[in-house]
Structure 1
Amino acid sequence: MGDRDIEAELRSLFGQEEDWIVEDNWEELVLSEVSIPATTLSPDDLFSILDQAGILRTPSATEDRIREDFDLPDEAGLDDWSVLKTHHVELVRDLSITGRIAYKVEYSPLEQDDLGFHAVPVSKLWSGNWAPSFANFGALLGGEDGLFRAGIEIGEGDLKAACSRLMETIPPTSMIKQMEEMTVLIREISTELSKVRSTVQELRADNARLHGVIEKQTEDFKSQVVVLTREIKEVGKLVIKFEPKNQPDLHQAVSDLEEKLQSRMTANQASQLSLLREREKERDDQRVRSKNLRIVGLTETEGENTTEVVTEFFQETLRVSSPRVESVRRIGVNSDRGPRTLLVRFHSEDDKNIVLSNRNMLRGKRIWLDMDLTPAQQVQKKEELQKVKEAIADGWVAYLKEGCAVITTRKREQTL
């Protein structure tokens, strides 16, 4: 692209007339308020674009100034600075301030020791508004012509011209923001799905137990109906044999049997209603305990502050920096068998899960983290654990997962 084409492009970018000349109107160019797209340019690309546009300026960059900028000893010569030829310049935009540009420059200045000079990686960050002055760009932008090819002062207009050719390859800021929001949303959805899976598993287990109880009660009720029906039929047969004068007594007997049958039906309905209420109560209890955690084996001292004890345990042992805990208390009675269990209530279930995710750090410490289970859940866990033990005894690979027995179809390897 020729110089005139570049000037035409700049005029188009800044909305200027055809008689507007870049070099003659430099002050107007650099003072323009423009939006700078986020991008990464190599020094060669930056020089090439600015040089073609005729807007490259070269302030002096003496050895003394470079030594001062890079904190080098006075006796350091150009040969010692060869490491400065390798560099990387990254241009980024601060969206909150119009036209504010940050230049992040990575370089390796030299330090002197008894053996001579050696490279030390260093990273600095400069930031400023339009036309910031960076004398050390002379050291950073070295090329084939020598260590220092040129130093530059870059204004907003410079960056607009330099970045204009790369805008088609840069994702729009709105798209980047949407991608970040989608990433956060996907993480939140993943967390919620994990909770839903856990809830579904609990409901399936509850439904299975409830179905078994109702099925048994239904079978019992059917048996009772069969017995009562048989009794009614027997009474009906007797009615035929008795004389008319005894019929009132027979009718009374039939009436008594009907009332007995109705009473049993009512009792069965009441039993099912009671079972449903117990189930609802159990679910409420589980919901309340869902934010709780039990810590077993943590040392107990007289007059301790349980909240401080637990917070220190989380931070130093489990590496959880700021756990949000609502309450902590010891449960059970004092005994010589060991410290009492600590019952911890968290601000949310997510806070509890963060602590649980680091439970592998407790291996070999004889300290355990347990869920705060309801009595019904404890019974179920014992039953499931018994299934696992029996399966292992029979040679199967089995284990307990989320309170349920998992028995595989693989046999355990026999050890001699």
Structure 2
Amino acid sequence: MQKQREVGNRVFVTGIGLISALGNNVAENHSSLAAGKDGITKAVHFESLYTETLPFGEVKLSNDELKALLHLENEFGYTRTCLLAVKAFEEAVNDSGLSAEELSSFDTALISASTVGGMCLTDQLYDDANMKFEGSEYLEAYGCAAHTMRLIEKYKINGFTDTINTACSSSANAIMMGARLIKAGRAKRVIVGGVDALAKYTVNGFNALKILSEFPCKPFDENRDGLNLGEAGAYLVLESEEVSVGKRKYAEIAGFGNSNDAHHPSAMSDDAVGAIISMKTAIESAGIDATKIDYINTHGTGTPNNDRVELFGISQIFEKVPPFSSTKSYTGHTLGASGAVEAIFSILSIQYSEIYPSLHIETNMEGFDAAPITEFQSDVSVNYVLSNSFGFGGNCTSLVIGRVN
């Protein structure tokens, strides 16, 4: 039975921007996805004791190359996090055709997300915090919101702004919050997304948890042994029905749900209570039945706990589990950027009628009838995608992204 869609403005995606290990823009990312080519390699630009033993989803441009590309050679205090944010943000707003006046309008909001923020400069932060020198150019750049402040200043944004850090669900929550602002009539346009760069802070932390794999990750494989950390910047321009008239609409943010199972600082509850509530809420708020979901872009980290709990939760909601895969097998886990990265991948699935498979699968998980898609699929009907993002502390967010009719 068709459910009632949440009352309020419809929310359309009119611009997308992305830089990840797969490519420096949306088109390059799509080409890599369609070719089944992952970006998990030895890191070249990131310095760590673990670069010799662990693979990463590293963006292929150095900081100097990013600065040159963005014409920021003479600017100071831009961390790699800031540079990735500017690159993806600029592509998204240009793709949407937003003018300087529209960016500065009080009807335009910005909701960004990050987990590590400026702490990507872990050693520099340590030196500055311990006053080893007079102070570096990055003194104001270490906070989680530093990249957001750069965007506000550079693009003269006057509307509501915020920075979200809910671990791995951060930018999915940014998308949800942006959609809610539009539906409530608090904004006509919201630029949403997230960014994270590789950092010793996160690499050392995840390594201490013993959840980093020495090989390219294989989410939903029986013998999965951990994740690969990656970096990315991803932004979407969300616009209300009112201001998007006559514009190209990539997709609709049709539904969203958020819950917290409050089970463990770094693991999901075995009964998937948070994941189930977030998925159910997203589907119900979209006003559709679960059978309408054509594809699930899973959180799918490749860790033993996450994949088992997520697949259990999915099996509780769907009588017949739809096609699903994890695109983290292409990019690595980009932390606070991952929700926005995977929302864009979900949009590409809708736009091109494609499903991108999970890579490196050798053995299906025991105890489940459902298994991830392992071959690229084209010319398939993809009208609704469920995109999952589950963060540390049990913060679970699901988005339903729909084709524009």
Tell me the TM-score normalized by structure 1: 0.19
* Structure ranking higher in helix proportion: 1
Largest Rg, 1 or 2: 1
Structure showing greater relative contact order (alpha-carbon pairs closer than 8 Å, 6 or more residues apart): 2
TM-score by length of 2: 0.20
